[in-house]
Structure 1
Amino acid sequence: MRKFAALARACEAVVESFGVVASWSSLAIVLVMAFNVLLRYAFSTGSVAMQELEWHLMAPIALLGMSYAILKDGHVRVDVVFGRMPPRYQETVDTVTHLLVLTMAVIMVLLAIPYVEQSYSIGEKSPDPGGLTHRFLLKSLIPLGFALLGLQALAAALRAILKLLGRHAD
């Protein structure tokens, strides 16, 4: 059981570090958007590259942040129903849902890898004049984000199983 707890902690440490990247991306996107608004309304100008940078920054927020949300228990759940369940049922529901998320994450990683490989092979970039190059780098976040989601789902499932068995993972 200690190995389960140690594995859960290791997975969560990895997810935590990528959560920091997602957090800094949030600050960066706010600054880029503010700069774009300033350019548009104060100087009547804009940049395709700067507009694309907004969604290039949104990708790490979403893809790296989804696993972080599970780590911090900030994901969406029907708490009206879940909160009224006995703790044992809550842990059972958590175990099953996290194992389902783990399965889905593995499938998404497997499906995303050829997609990213194709993007790398053609050197994908923005089709818009003045757009950003190296779009294939951004697409690499897709399998990474789902791999992190799988790691966190595994960690959360292990913690829920330990609670079901009457042990604490900490």
Structure 2
Amino acid sequence: MKTAINAIEWLVEAMGGLARLVVLALVLLVATDVILRYLFSIGPVAMQELEWHLISPIALIGLSYTMKHRADVRVDFLYERFNWRLKAFVDLVAALLTLSVAVIITYLSLAYVQQSFRMGEGSPDPGGLPMRYLLKAFIPLGFGLLSLQGLAESLRSLLVLCGKLPPDTSNETTDQTSTAEEVA
């Protein structure tokens, strides 16, 4: 199981690196668009569409990357007070719920992408981007990646609960250290 977790998280990390590159591309594209628009009075439709197209891979790939790095939204003021066993159980339930929702969205979005591909869907705007199905393909890709990360989180929580992995007690140690420093 540890090998599967490491393989999934390697993939999520690699895709997160791709998302970071897309952020850089978006920043450069917006800067170019602003320069063209305000200095040369040129505003290509395709460039403007590409800007909002690039937000999709950033958000959809970023979901799993955020989950891997535990930067997702959680009610920390309660979670911090839990012991390691309850934390692992909460993490397991959250990961299983994430996994189930992500699998459902992945499955349902495949038909949506296929329909767009069969239609040869493109931008309705003159000068817009063709092949809109490429943009829509990030929906099953992003949620498929989130499914994998949910699976990795589920497996990790199970290993912690079974005693095969040590619990993450970094917050507990930090809290005890800071409390000891405050008393001294």
The TM-score range, normalised by the shorter chain, is over 0.9
2:103 corresponds to which letter in structure 1? V
Aligned length: 166
Q: Quote the offset at 1:13 in angstroms.
A: 1.4
Deviation, 1:94, is 0.5
Match of 2:177 in 1: none
C-alpha displacement of 1:5: 1.1
Aligned with residue 121 of structure 1, among 118, 121, 124: 118
2:41 and 2:86 map into 1 onto residues whose CA distance is 58
Matched residue, 2:173: none
Question: Structure 2: any 5+ residue segments left out of the alignment?
Answer: 167-184
RMSD: 1.2
* Correspondence for 1:45: 42
Calculate percent identity across the aligned residue pairs: 51
Superposition pairs of residues 55-94 of structure 1, within 5 angstroms: 55-94=52-91
Deviations 1:6-36 (A, max 9, x none): 1111111111121111110010001111111
Select the structure of larger CA radius of gyration.
2
Distance in 1 (CA, whole Å) between partners of 2:22 and 2:118 is 27
Alignment deviations for residues 81-129 of structure 1 (CA, whole Å, 9 cap, x no partner): 2112222111111100100110011101110011000000001100011
Offset, 1:166: 1.7
Provide the residue aligned with 2:145 in structure 1: 148
CA–CA distance in 1 between the matches of 2:34 and 2:75?
A: 37
Gaps of 5+ in 1: none
Distance (Å, rounded) in 2 between the aligned partners of 1:90 and 1:43: 57
Given residue 145 of structure 1, which amino acid in structure 2 is its aligned partner?
Answer: G
